[in-house]
Amino acid sequence: MSMKRWITVVVLGGATLTGATVFAHRTGNERRTPAECRALRDPARQRACLACIARPRPHHYHPLQTEGWRCDPNDGTP
């Protein structure tokens, strides 16, 4: 393998891994456990959060998102 090709492979591989890490990191605002849901101040959001994370497929709750976009599946995206 030529040096140019090797450098290209390394750079593209690093960019791919960096991009995946950026999009899959925790934002710090999502709630994934009942204890994290109970820490919310608004009782309505607490109930919505608990209902979200109790779904059959794993989900997490974003309290700062707009209504209708707060409950997301755990598919590697924040």
Read off the pLDDT of each residue in 6-30 and give the average, rounded to a whole number. Answer: 62
Q: In terms of pLDDT, which residue wins out, 51 or 25?
A: 51
Rounded-to-integer distance, Cα 7 and Cα 13, Å? 10
Can you list the alpha helix ranges (DSSP code H) found in the chain?
3-24, 34-38, 43-53
pLDDT in tens, 31-71: 999 999 999 999 999 999 999 999 999 999 999 988 889 99
Q: Are 22 and 53 in contact (CB under 8 A)?
A: no
The residue type of 75 is: D
Ramachandran assignment for 74, one of left (phi > 0), alpha (psi -120 to 50 degrees), beta (any other) = beta
For residue 50, what are its two tokens? 């608990």
Q: Is the pTM of this model over 0.75?
A: no
